[in-house]
Amino acid sequence: MSGPRLVLLGGVIVDVVMYVPHFPVPGGDVLASDALVATGGGFNILAAANRQGLTGAYLGPHGTGRFGDQIRADLAAEGIVVTQPPSAEGDSGFCIGLVDAAAERTYATRPGVEGRLTQAHLSGVPLEPDDAVWLSGYDLAYAHGPVVGAWFTGLASTHRTFFDPGPVVGGIDAALLHAVVARADWVSLNVDEVRALTGRPDAAHAIRAWSETLPLPRAGVLVRDGAEGCWLLEAAHPRDVHHVRVPLPPFTPTDTSGAGDCHLGTFAAAIGRGEAPVAAARWANAAAALCVQRVGPATGPTYAEVAAALATTAG
């Protein structure tokens, strides 16, 4: 074992993305200017963390078929450890994504074998004592949610944990969601999701109202706010909410696909190397800003690229 890893159990799928001038009206159609087929989902987080020096490992199912083949090839190319053999139960899942001229993206997801985790899968997961664990809200919204939730909440305290509820947060059982949040060290989500959870329309008020609606995670809450940066609530100081701005000059985004994943993977790596939460959030903001100026889902920058971008703004 060479050092701590960021691991996940499910959620590595293939993105089929089309770039369109605008989203089609219901029942309509629109011509795409470009398209790509790329490994996405949890791969984005593992790749982002890996490029920041935190080794990634995928411990979940991957399928037998064209999507599973692509996922394994891309994981290998990124240097991410895969521990399970290909599943004989079917192929990995995929999603259809549309990115409009404003770089906003919309997805529809079809789960595959990664959406059918069982107790047998989980009992054989080869965790190391100092592994960090990332969990997606998708894994709680799927039918296997109670099984995965019980496994996550039972993790030893040596495992630093990250939880991203995601856009399916409204479909997660409330008791399960509360239990997972309470076990998580860090919860990362976007402003729309924190508004949905707290019922507060303003992002700053929403994060301040977190503890009125949900338990505080063990370390804190990170609320991603796009080009504005992020909000940070540390559990040790629940009344002191920081707004951390993007430390790079203004820019025009090209593709926001995977930006939240890049932010979380980069933040996890920065926390793992000992950065204070505000400094880790600032670093994650810079990485996400570089990510959205590139096309594709897994476009997180390297440590050196973020350091170079920040150096140009120093002073």
Separation CA 263–CA 75 (nearest Å):
19
**Under 8 Å between Cβ of 281 and 230:** yes
Contact partners, residue 48, CB within 8 Å, separation at least 6: 261, 262, 263, 264, 265, 266, 269, 287, 291, 298, 300
Closest-CA residue to 12 (of 102, 98, 78, 101): 78
Closest-CA residue to 70 (of 62, 80, 58): 62
DSSP 133: E
CA 1 vs CA 36, 57, 129, 201: distances in Å: 36, 12, 10, 46
Block residue for tokens 């404003």: 102
Q: What is the pLDDT of residue 1?
A: 42
Is the four-CA dihedral 85, 89, 91, 93 of positive or negative sign? negative
CA 255 vs CA 17, 105, 222: distances in Å: 11, 8, 22
139-174 in b/e form (b: 16+ CB < 10 A) is bbbbebbebbbebbeebeeebbbbbbbbbbbeebee
- Give the number of C-alpha atoms closer than 13 A to the C-alpha of residue 100, restricted to the C-beta side: 10
Give the total number of structural domains in the chain.
Answer: 1
User: Amino acid identity of 174?
Assistant: A
In degrees to the nearest 10, what's the CA dihedral of 183, 272, 193, 45?
-110
Q: What is the pLDDT of residue 84?
A: 87
308's tokens: 């170079």
Q: CATH number, domain at 117?
A: 3.40.1190.20
Contact partners, residue 27, CB within 8 Å, separation at least 6: none
- Residue 109: left if φ>0, alpha if ψ -120 to 50, beta else—which one? beta
**Under 8 Å between Cβ of 262 and 44:** yes
Closest-CA residue to 193 (of 206, 176, 184, 204): 206
Contact partners, residue 225, CB within 8 Å, separation at least 6: 190, 191, 203, 231
Owning domain of residue 183: 5-311
Closest-CA residue to 260 (of 184, 212, 181, 194): 194
DSSP 87: P
Separation CA 228–CA 290 (nearest Å):
14
Separation CA 53–CA 50 (nearest Å):
5
**Under 8 Å between Cβ of 303 and 292:** no
Q: What is the pLDDT of residue 2?
A: 58
Q: Which residues of the chain are modeled with pLDDT < 50? A: 1
